[in-house]
Amino acid sequence: MADRMELINQMTSHVVSAAASGTWVLGDLTVNRMGFGAMRLTGSSAFHEGTPSDRGRAVAVLRRAVELGVDHIDTAAFYFSRLRSANELINSALAPYADGLVVTTKVGPARDACGGWAESARPDQLRGQVEENLRQLGRDHLDVVNFRITGRQESISEHFGALSELRDAGLIRHLGISNARHEHLVQAEAIAPVVCVQNRYGIDAPDRAGMLRACAERGIAFVPFFSIAGEGCEAGAVRAERDGVLAVAGAHGVSPAQVRLAWILRQGSHVLAIPGTGNPEHLVDNVAAGALRLTRDDLLLLDSIGGPAS
């Protein structure tokens, strides 16, 4: 019995907390830089219909994430499939919510009851989307709401203005933008404070909009999505892994996903990670990336990666 307890203690002692990634402040909300994205729990996204995680396992993954120190969870009411709703899973797993747990959601895109994508919400429809997130999550306010920009939308001023009014009304605490260009950030900042920008970014997904630096200059969190999936995007990490990533992973004895996440976190103290998974083992592996220290040679090799895989 004593030997078994010692083994359990050894296993537990090697589990890394999200606190190892360091912290950042979203407005007045301090979070660990390693967070969690809930989209993959549903098995559905904009371009991919996959297999949703088993409900019990999804709930367990969310609870385990919080146990591991994750205090920043990214979700949206439009993260749902015919079997799963990300917001409902979060509510079931985590309500009543712990003090300090920050739930970030998104509005803008719209889906019908069958899951089909409809026209994005007009400014006057955003209140309904905010209220739907509140209802599904069982909250009286939303910590952070990102306006998710779709297509080639030029101006977001009316939409962001509508969200700013909801912030003033107490339904939203802080605001951000997603899938944004520099001009969108300028437009939003003219209306209300912006605490984060969510854009696609990763080792092989360059920051073409220049938002990484723009956010650093303003003290705004930059939150990449699809940072593990790379070219696989919503379908997951389905592409062949890069040789450079594999080489660094082998040198450290870690997974390629850890290398990708550690690289993301090295891009600036303002950069947050929100990897998603329905697999408890992958969750532990992802969180451990916050403690992975890449060498200068590692970074040079990883920085040299770009363009489509050969």
Q: Residue 152's Cα: distance from chain center in Å?
A: 22
pLDDT at 14: 75
Q: Indicate if the pLDDT at residue 306 is higher than 90.
A: no
Point out the least confidently predicted range of 39-53, 180-194, 293-307.
39-53
pLDDT at 49: 59
Q: What angle do CA 235, 241, 246 make, to 5 degrees?
A: 145
Q: Indicate if the pLDDT at residue 277 is higher than 80.
A: yes
Hey, which residues are catalytic here?
79
* Per-residue pLDDT tens digits for 283-292: 999 999 999 9
Average pLDDT over residues 185-209: 96
pLDDT at 1: 41
Q: Indicate if the pLDDT at residue 6 is higher than 50.
A: no
pLDDT at 52: 67
Whole-angstrom Cα distance, residue 204 to residue 169? 41
CB atoms within 10 A of CB 8: 10
List CB contacts of 144: < 8 A, sequence separation 6 or more.
Answer: 26, 27, 29, 102, 103, 104, 105, 172, 173, 174, 175, 176, 195, 196
- Going from the C-alpha of 211 to that of each of 130, 180, 215, 218, 243, the distances in angstroms are 26, 8, 6, 10, 27
Instruction: Give percent of the chain with pLDDT exceeding 70.
Output: 88
Pairing of strands 117-118, 72-74: unpaired
Whole-angstrom Cα distance, residue 51 to residue 45? 11
Average pLDDT over residues 258-269: 98
* Per-residue pLDDT tens digits for 96-151: 999 999 999 999 999 987 778 888 999 999 999 999 999 999 999 999 999 999 98
* Per-residue pLDDT tens digits for 238-260: 568 999 999 999 999 999 999 99
pLDDT at 4: 37
* Per-residue pLDDT tens digits for 204-220: 999 999 999 999 999 99
Can you give the pTM of this predicted structure? Answer: 0.91
Q: Indicate if the pLDDT at residue 308 is higher than 50.
A: no
Within 13 A of 138's CA, how many CA atoms are on the CB side?
12
Written out in words, the top-level CATH class of the domain with range 31-303 is: alpha beta
Whole-angstrom Cα distance, residue 166 to residue 171? 6
Q: Indicate if the pLDDT at residue 310 is higher than 80.
A: no
The overall average pLDDT reported for the chain is: 90
